[in-house]
Structures are given as structure tokens and as C-alpha cells.
Structure 1
Amino acid sequence: MRHFVLVSVLLALSALVSSNEVKTQISKHVAIVSGCDSHLYIVIPTAYALLRKTTAGKYRVTFVTGSECKKTVENLGSDVVHHDSGLWLHPNYDTSISTAEYYENITVGSVIHPYRAMQSLAKEDKPDLIIAESFSVGASIVAETQNIPLLFHYTPGISHIVTWLGGSDISVGAFQHVDPKTTPMFIQRLVATVFFSVEILLSDYFCKPGAAVFEKIRREMGLNDSYDNYEHVISSFPSFSAVGEPISQMFDVPPNKFTLTGLLPSPPETMRVPDELKDFLEQSPKPVLYVSMGTYFVFSDQTFERVKNFLESQELFNVVWSHRKYSTTRHPIKDRTKMIILKKVPQKFVLKHEKVRAFLSHCGISSVIEGLSAGVAFLGAPQGRDQFYLSARVASAGLGLEIGRTPNEPSLREGIEKLHRNLNQYTKNVQNVYKQMSRESVQKLENLVDSLISKGGSSKFDPSESLIWSWNQALTHVLMVLIAALTILLYLIKLVMLLAVRLIDWLFFSEQELKKPKTN
């Protein structure tokens, strides 16, 4: 009997050890790379989905980003490793710098920081897969030299990487400023190709410092293939996006290069909720409007005061406002039962609160995603960059309204009244869109990650396989459109001149003909 018990215990221990060994063997190491800026919040749900929404222990995640974002990464849980590689400085907070300065800094940073960080991580703990946010192109050098599969995480708002040229048929996904519901498709495609071509030309101009660094490191590492622009590099590797229609417009998606997973679940709120905020929400007898211009943008003092005064005077919503530059002495609140303004607000908590029904937002992509997942209606007040496109897409999808960059009292009044009047319909639309965009998203991500890891090896950068346009193609397209537009304009001018001559001839010369004496 004793022998039987001893054997049973040994068998159980053996099974436990074997189980742990199997668990270790199947736990795949995924490195997620992103700059320490607003784009980090695009990739956080990817890490959360892999760790919390798939089979326990299937993946382990290392976050590769700046040390200034260590706390954000640690909020995901103790099992998420932050690979500390110093500060990753990006000039997002300084909105006064020029576009040229912004792109020069951010594109140099997107090469140096990811390259150095991934190089050190590969020496310490080589990952089975690198998922790099689309600006972190420096990670591609390590992927090639270390033979690691690479997956680019596309960030909505920049021109879509599924753009490609196939014979004479142009199929483009790019941000554009036309209403997809009322504009014919051929006009949409034409506008998209022009916007996309111009962006490639501007990107090539502004990104030269970063491109020079990228090319220098590639040559030093023995990777001599030249490239045309950052998009050219990104689109030659497998890539995916969590955001598709109706927020990010796509015309055609080639399955061999691009995967649309759909919206991934976000981690729960980790920021402490102030008692005064809890009390305000619980005691509000009206629906609540949440106002936030995001992490980096704020209204000017003049616009802030104008919007604040109107929101205090209206009676349809109570207001919670997140404003990082708020001063109680400069902008005192008249009635604290109707409005609360804090420098920092736990946004997920607020948006998901049952009393909060609407969101006055700059429509940055992270805010749009959080608003969608919370089921609130939108008032769009875009402040810069891709926000104008995203705000227009939100409005065209019936998820809310646009009130402009610097809303005045008439636009605020019209927007608030219409939003309140149609609040239930907007909310229903938001819920339906979120359900559509998040369907089976985790499973799609898991399948994509598993397929790349099982194949193994890096997808080498090959300019001939890239689906993106080159600088020459972009320039040629813009010139062709300009020549076509000029030809049409000259033809119209000629037509108008001919009509004018005919009209003058009819008005003056026909009258003279009538005055001539008739002859037998």
C-alpha cells in the first residue's frame, strides 16, 4: 500500500513538472514596441488582449518603450515586463513647433530608440515575434539582422498601408475630406490618391533626417537595400490594424499583407477616482457631457472660456471636464452642481459611468475608441493632424456631430440641442458600430500572431514587394492630376470664350442686320 501511495505521489509530481515544462515551451515571447507618446495607447489593448483574453500562459509580453512610460506599462499587471532603455523623447507636448521640426524629431526618434532598445532586448531575451507600432521603423533592422518575425501595428489616421498600385487600377486607402455617403466612389478614389501622393512627397521632405539615420544604420548592419519612404518600409512587412470601417476608411485589403482584427478590449481603469468626481456623477439629475481635448491638445484660453460659459448656461447636460491647464482663479465655476473641471480625469471610468451619455472630444483615435467602447455619443471638436478626418468619419457614421475647431455659441447651441434631441439614436448607432467593429477581434489577433510565430524567420524588406507607392509614383500621379485639371480648365475657358463671342455676336451684330434696309 505504501509503495502504491509513493508511486502515485511521484507520478503526480512528474505530471506537474511536465505540465510546467509544456507551459514554458508554449509560452511565446512577444515584444511590443512603441514610442512613449499617444501611439502607446493604440498598442496597449494588443498587449492586454494577448495576456488576458487568450489561453493563460500562451504568451508573455515585453513592452519596449521609453522609461517615462514605465508606469503606464506596469498598470497592465506584474506579468508584463518593461524593457527599460532610457528616455524616448518626442516633442508632442510642444504644439507650437513647426511641422518640419515635429517630423524631424519624431522620425529620428522612431529609428534610434526602437533600434537600440530592440537590439539590447534581443541579446538578453530574444522574442519570438516583434509587434512594432507603425512609427517604430527602427525595430525592422533588428528583425532582419536577428531573423525575428515582425508585425507592424498600423495606427489609423495616417495614410493606410494597404495602398498599392496594380496595373492601371488604383486602389487606395487614405484619409480624405469628402462624405463617403454622398460622393461617388471614383471621386473618393481620386481625392484619396491625391492626398496620399501629397503626403508621400511631404513625408519624404520632412523625414529626411530620420531617413538618413535609418539608411546609415542599415548599411552598418549589412542591409544595403535602399528604400523610398517610411511607408515603403512598413508596407513591405506583414501588418494589421484594430480599426476599420466606418472609422478608418479602406477600399481594398490584400490578405497576404494586411489583417484587420477589429477593436480589441481595453484594460480596466487604473487611475484613482477622486471622491468629488464620484459624488458629482452620482448626484447629477441630468445626463452628463464629458469634455476632453486629449493628452496634448487644449482649447486656447479664449475658446475655453467661451465654451465653458455656454456649457454653464445651458440646461440639458451637466458637465465633467478634463483640462490639464485649468486654473480655478482664472476660470472660476459659477455652479459646482452643474459643472466640475479637473486637471486629470480617469477617462475610462467617466465614459463608462451610466450617467455619462455624451463626449465632447478632439477625436484623437484613442479617445474615439474609448468613446465607442463606452457607448457614448460624440461632439467633435478636432484640433489637429488626423483628428479632422476622424471627426468627419464619426459624424458621417451617425455617431454624433461636428462643431468645429473653435466652437462659438451658435455652433455649440445647435450641436448640444441636436445631440440631446437625438441622444438615444446616436447612442444606439455607437453601440451597433462597436459591436460590428469588435466581433471576434481577439481570435483574429491570436490567429495572426500564431501564424507568424509558426512560420519563423524575419520577413526581409524587399522594395519590389512593397505595396506602397514610391516617391516617383506619387510625384507622377500628382503631376498627371494637375495636368488633367489644367487641361479641363483650359477647355472650359475656351468654351466660355466661344459662348461669350456667340453672345456678343447675337446681341450686337444681329441687331445691325435687322436695321439694314431691305433690297428688292
Structure 2
Amino acid sequence: MFSDQRSLTILMLPWLAHGHISPYLELAKKLTTKRNFHIFICSTPVNLSSIKPKLSQKYSHCIEFVELHLPHDDLPELPPHYHTTNGLPPHLMSTLKTAFDMSSNNFSNILKTLSPDLLIYDVLQPWAPSLASLQNFPSIEFTPMGAALTSFSIQHIKNPSVKFPFPSIYLQDYEAEKFNNLLESSANGIKDGDRVQQCSARSCNIILVKTSREIEEKYIDYLSDLMGKKIVPVGTLVQEPMDQKVDEETWIMKWLNKMERSSVVYVCFGSEYFLSKEQIEEIAHGLELSKVSFIWVIRFPKAERSTRVEEVLPEGFLQRVGEKGVIMKGWAPQAKILQHSSVGGFVSHCGWNSVLESIKFGVPVIAMPMHLDQPINARLVEEVGVGVEVKRTGEGSLQREEVAKVIRDVVVEKFGEGVRKKALKISDNVNKKEDEEIDGVVEELIQACTGRGI
């Protein structure tokens, strides 16, 4: 058994998406505050350059970054600035997965050089635990997605004809085809669904999941049954707000300070989803019809970054909403905004990181899922009682009247009182449990490192 004085080295290998790398970094921070862990986070240079500023000086002695170089001579269509999902043209996604697979030799050399006590890896690289096993290192999967989504996907892969046993979690017809395509999409001759299954199967006795029993208890237990492994929740892993202030933070906080308690909705659809002109139009009209004050973050793809927001918003929209609305182009201090007492609702695409942020800060969700895991997360938000989903047409289109109605229901009307109270209650429960959950993770990792978890 290792004594507490003996430093344990962990190598982390997340998938090349910001929504995966960020939870890995937060998990690393939590672990190093609990025990003498030395953690290496491995990713491509372009990803590391965006994540390094998010690590404050106090962690510099115990968290280090390791560059993973993907082959680009063999794949000239994927230059180094595309070695990330952020800003990646969609048609190059399978090429990125192929390049990631092709980096396995480089990764094998990193394993040899660092000789860690443990590898923690993500859901799309089954070659990583295999390489660790060849070098006699234990490895554990950490999925930065929820247990409802993961169990829904695994069951769908294993038994597509069997209905998911929890009726609250389902897909609309217009969502099901996209979801199936996601699991069926392949790169380098391997379907994503198969990658997910192989990664889970190769994990030592446990799988870490970014969730809390307070939110997903029955899905954690069901996932454990499906996988035949212990599922260990790691908590919400919401990013700690950085110490240094930027100009955007100062002025938006001043604007929020002038607003009434719980009167503002924050509108944001994540860092890697871009709204169509039609969606922007319906959401804009919905916000205007709701008469609720708002902060709306609008992002454009790299090729369209010079676009002015006025060009995509309905004519005269900014003049009509006046002081009641703020449009922020590109970036906003999301965690700080959600923590502000003036914010009473989050119009969200329901990416998992955003769902957990809203839960942690007790802000009710107005759910507008767009793709990927988001529809499942939105159904969970409704089931837990911390939000309401905006219903769409049979083809999946948004309608401004419905957008306005749900915003008012959640933020203003008596109807939303239960949701607002539940959001605060769940937030309180989740926050109380965080320490205990991380302690449980630390115990499991120590066991894996000492050979009892292999």
C-alpha cells in the first residue's frame, strides 16, 4: 500500500473536444487538492494553448501538460490548427478521429517516458487502454457525459430493438435518425458506437462518470448493470471562475447589478454549436415577446467571425428591446453570470457541461436541445424538475410563441415556482455531496494504482 507521502502519477488522455478536455482539467484540479497526485494532461498543441490559461499558478507544481502530435504529413487536409473539434469543419470530423488513432505510436512513447501509475482515458480511443495494458499500467475510463445518455447509448448499441426502461428518456422521431447516425458514423473503419463499447470494456473494474447521484442515481445503477462495472460519479466538475477579471466581466456584472433579483435570462448554445439564421430569428422574437430581460451570447463559425450581429437579428430588434437586452458576441463569463442573483433562467442547448453548471448554481433551465447528447440531457432536466423544454414542431423547428411562453413560465409565472424551488434544492444537495464524491474517486484511484483494482 502506498503511503500518503508517495506521489502517484496519473496520465489523462481526453478526446480532442473542449467539452471533454475541460472536465479532465477540473478533475485533475480536484484530485490534486485531495492527495499527493501528479497529473499529466495529454492533448494536441492547439488544444493545450487554449486550456493552459485556465490553470492558475497554484497548480503548476502538480499538473503538467504533455503535447500529443497527430500525423499531418499523411493527412495534409488536417493541418495542426485543425487538431481540435473547436472550429473544425464538420466534414473533417472522421479525419480527426483517424489522425487521433494514428497518434497511438506517439502516445505509446509518452506512456514509456512518463511511466504513470494510472491512465485515465476518454470514450473514443480504445487503443489507449490497450497500450497501457501492454506496458502493465492500469487504466480507467472517465466519460465526461451523463449516466442517462451513456446508458441510453450503450443499451441502444447492445439491444437496439429493446425499449429503454425509463420512459422519461426518449428521442423524438426527428432526433432519432441523427442520434443513430452519430453512433453509426465511423472513422478508420471503426463505428463510434463500437469505440464507446470497447473503451468501457477495457476499463479496470470501475468507470468514472461526470455526474452526481443527486441527479442520476437510477441511471448510474442501470449503467453499472449494463457494463458489469462499478460506476463512480465524480460530481459536476464545474470550472472554477478565474481570479483575473477581463473587461467583458466588469461591464456585464455592472449591468446585472442594476437588474432585479432572478429577472434576467442568460441565453447561450455552447462553444461549438452555431445557430442558423432561422433559429436566431425565432429565438429573438421569442425573447422580445417574453418581455424578460436577457443576456444572449451569439457565436459565429471561424469563417464568419467578421459578421455583425445586427446582420442576423430581425430588423429593428436591438432598438425595440433597448436596455432590456444585451448581446455578447463570441464569449461571456458564463459561470459568473449564472452565479449572479439577477439571473433567473438559462436558455440552454443542454450540453452536459452547461446542464451541470445550471444545476450547481441553482438556475432553472429553458431547454432547447440542438443535437448530439442534448435531447437526452433536456429530457433529464425536465425529469429532475429543474427546467422545462421548449416544444418544437414535428419537423423540429422552433416557434417564437413557444419560446416566449416557456421563458415566462420558468422565470416569471406562478407555474414555474416549483421549478425555481427545485433548482435551488437540487443545487444545495449536489454542492453538499461534491466533497464526498471526490473522496470516493480518490479511494478508487488509489486502489487501482496499488493493483487491487486491476
With normalisation by structure 2, the TM-score equals 0.76
Structure 2 counterpart of 1:402: 389
Tell me which of 164, 186, 190 is aligned to 1:207.
Answer: 186
Tell me which of 408, 424, 431 is aligned to 2:424.
Answer: 431
In structure 2, the residue corresponding to 1:345 is in which secondary structure?
coil
Q: Does 1:150 align with 2:139?
A: yes
Tell me the CA shift for residue 391 of structure 1.
Answer: 0.6
Letter matched to residue 263 of structure 1: G
What CA distance in whole angstroms lies between the structure 1 residues aligned with 2:32 and 2:297?
30
Structure 2 counterpart of 1:510: none
Tell me which of 224, 228, 249 is aligned to 2:219.
Answer: 249
Structure 2 counterpart of 1:390: 377
Q: Does 1:236 align with 2:230?
A: no
After superposition, the C-alpha distances for 1:67-110 in whole angstroms (9 at most, x for unaligned) are: 1222314422323211022447245645754xxx64x3354244
Structure 2 counterpart of 1:49: 30
Tell me the CA shift for residue 369 of structure 1.
Answer: 1.0
Contact 1:242 1:261 (8 Å CA) reproduced: yes
After superposition, the C-alpha distances for 1:174-195 in whole angstroms (9 at most, x for unaligned) are: 9789426xxxxxxx9xx9xxx9
Q: Does 1:68 align with 2:42?
A: no
- Bigger shift: residues 232-241 or 362-371: 232-241
> Which runs of 5 or more residues in structure 1 are unaligned?
1-21, 181-187, 215-226, 460-520
Distance 1:40 1:117, change over 3 A: farther
Q: Does 1:89 align with 2:78?
A: no
Structure 2 counterpart of 1:31: 11
> Which runs of 5 or more residues in structure 2 are unaligned?
70-79, 301-306
After superposition, the C-alpha distances for 1:269-298 in whole angstroms (9 at most, x for unaligned) are: 237351321221111236110000101112
Structure 2 counterpart of 1:321: 296
Distance 1:258 1:272, change over 3 A: farther
Tell me which of 426, 431, 439 is aligned to 1:443.
Answer: 439
Structure 2 counterpart of 1:379: 366
What CA distance in whole angstroms lies between the structure 2 residues aligned with 1:258 and 1:144?
20
After superposition, the C-alpha distances for 1:334-378 in whole angstroms (9 at most, x for unaligned) are: 244211111210111111111112100000111111111111000
Q: Does 1:59 align with 2:37?
A: yes
Tell me the CA shift for residue 428 of structure 1.
Answer: 2.5
After superposition, the C-alpha distances for 1:435-475 in whole angstroms (9 at most, x for unaligned) are: 44562211111111111011179x5xxxxxxxxxxxxxxxx
What CA distance in whole angstroms lies between the structure 2 residues aligned with 1:66 and 1:173?
39
What CA distance in whole angstroms lies between the structure 2 residues aligned with 1:259 and 1:63?
22
Q: Which one has a bigger Cα radius of gyration?
A: 1
What CA distance in whole angstroms lies between the structure 1 residues aligned with 2:153 and 2:167?
20
Distance 1:303 1:359, change over 3 A: same
What CA distance in whole angstroms lies between the structure 2 residues aligned with 1:376 and 1:427?
7
Tell me which of 403, 417, 426 is aligned to 1:412.
Answer: 403
Letter matched to residue 433 of structure 1: I
- The CA RMSD measured in Å over matched residues stands at 3.7
Distance 1:43 1:125, change over 3 A: same
Letter matched to residue 129 of structure 1: L
Contact 2:289 2:401 (8 Å CA) reproduced: no
Q: Report the number of matched residues.
A: 397
Structure 1 counterpart of 2:283: 307
With normalisation by structure 1, the TM-score equals 0.67
Matches within 5 A, 1:276-291: 276-285=251-260, 287-291=263-267
In structure 1, the residue corresponding to 2:41 is in which secondary structure?
strand
Contact 1:163 1:172 (8 Å CA) reproduced: no
Distance 1:256 1:273, change over 3 A: farther
In structure 1, the residue corresponding to 2:288 is in which secondary structure?
helix
Tell me the CA shift for residue 304 of structure 1.
Answer: 0.8
Distance 1:35 1:163, change over 3 A: closer
What CA distance in whole angstroms lies between the structure 2 residues aligned with 1:172 and 1:240?
28
What CA distance in whole angstroms lies between the structure 2 residues aligned with 1:259 and 1:359?
29
What CA distance in whole angstroms lies between the structure 2 residues aligned with 1:164 and 1:319?
39
Q: Does 1:339 align with 2:325?
A: yes
Structure 2 counterpart of 1:474: none
Q: Percent identity?
A: 16
What CA distance in whole angstroms lies between the structure 1 residues aligned with 2:366 and 2:40?
37
Contact 1:173 1:252 (8 Å CA) reproduced: no
What CA distance in whole angstroms lies between the structure 1 residues aligned with 2:428 and 2:106?
37
Contact 1:382 1:388 (8 Å CA) reproduced: yes
Distance 1:268 1:90, change over 3 A: closer
Distance 1:244 1:345, change over 3 A: same
Tell me which of 228, 238, 261 is aligned to 2:233.
Answer: 261
